[in-house]
Amino acid sequence: DQQVKQNSPSLSVQEGRISILNCDYTNSMFDYFLWYKKYPAEGPTFLISISSIKDKNEDGRFTVFLNKSAKHLSLHIVPSQPGDSAVYFCAAYSGGGADGLTFGKGTHLIIQP
Amino acid sequence: ETGVTQSPTHLIKTRGQQVTLRCSSQSGHNTVSWYQQALGQGPQFIFQYYREEENGRGNFPPRFSGLQFPNYSSELNVNALELDDSALYLCASSSRINYGYTFGSGTRLTVV
């Protein structure tokens, strides 16, 4: 049973446009959500996070939106740049994090020139 | 500030053998966790150590075991290797249990 779902395996966006990556979750106990970016042959790199008590968090070109009632979050990247091409993972944890992070399967974002 | 380093980067083992993977935490981090990432999947939580004690475990059998040392470095041991154990093994460290995690580049384990 997948508790964190990223239903789009890949997404292609033109350079300069907005990239929107989506993530759904089923566990209502999750209280912290994170986005990671991963290049081939490297470990995941932390991008941005949001607590369940907020509905938006912004950091430069990256904004994460959380809709708790829909159990849905999204990552917006504006404007998209070629270096943004990577696999993006949505992750979540609950309580003190002793159960570790629960990851989605990832979305491969491809920025086209 | 050094990041998380893992060794070796690649490893090939035979089914039934045992393997030890190593991880050095980022400076100042006292929590380390291990993840298994199979091809095309997201990382899956194996277990977590905080101040040398295991304080969380995912859905992995007992043949997956670990250690954390006083300097907060860590080992992942896998006994009786199976073909399905072939994966990228990621180590992550953090300064608090519920804080953002810094990942290493991983060890690619192939079991033949």
Q: Are β-strands A107-112 and A10-14 bridged in parallel, bridged antiparallel, or unpaired?
A: parallel
pLDDT at B97 over 60: no
Judge whether A1 is closer than 8 Å to chain B, CB to CB: no
What is the structure's pLDDT at A43? 92
Under 8 Å between Cβ of B107 and B11: yes
Give the whole-angstrom CA distance, residue B28 versus residue A83. 30
Number of Cβ within 10 Å of residue A113's Cβ equals: 6
Judge whether B23 is closer than 8 Å to chain A, CB to CB: no
Q: What is the mean pLDDT of residues B24-28?
A: 86
Per-residue pLDDT tens over the stretch B41-89: 999 999 999 889 998 999 999 999 999 999 889 999 999 999 999 999 9
Q: Which residues of B touch A3 (CB under 8 A)?
A: none
Burial bucket for residue B26 (CB in 10 Å: 0-12, 13-18, 19+): buried
Give the whole-angstrom CA distance, residue A95 versus residue A93. 7
Q: In a mutagenesis test of the B interface, which of A6, A32, A94, A101 is the best target, namely the one with the most B β-carbons within 10 Å?
A: A101
Per-residue pLDDT tens over the stretch A9-47: 999 999 999 999 999 999 999 989 999 999 988 899 999
Q: Which residues of B touch A42 (CB under 8 A)?
A: 105
Per-residue pLDDT tens over the stretch A44-85: 999 999 999 999 999 999 999 999 999 999 999 999 999 999
Sequence-separated (6 or more) residues with CB below 8 Å from residue A20: A74, A75, A76, A77
Contact (CB<8Å) A104/B42 = yes
Give the whole-angstrom CA distance, residue B65 versus residue A93. 22
Judge whether A44 is closer than 8 Å to chain B, CB to CB: yes
Burial bucket for residue A108 (CB in 10 Å: 0-12, 13-18, 19+): middle
Contact (CB<8Å) A45/B43 = no
Comparing B28 with B109, the larger pLDDT belongs to: B109
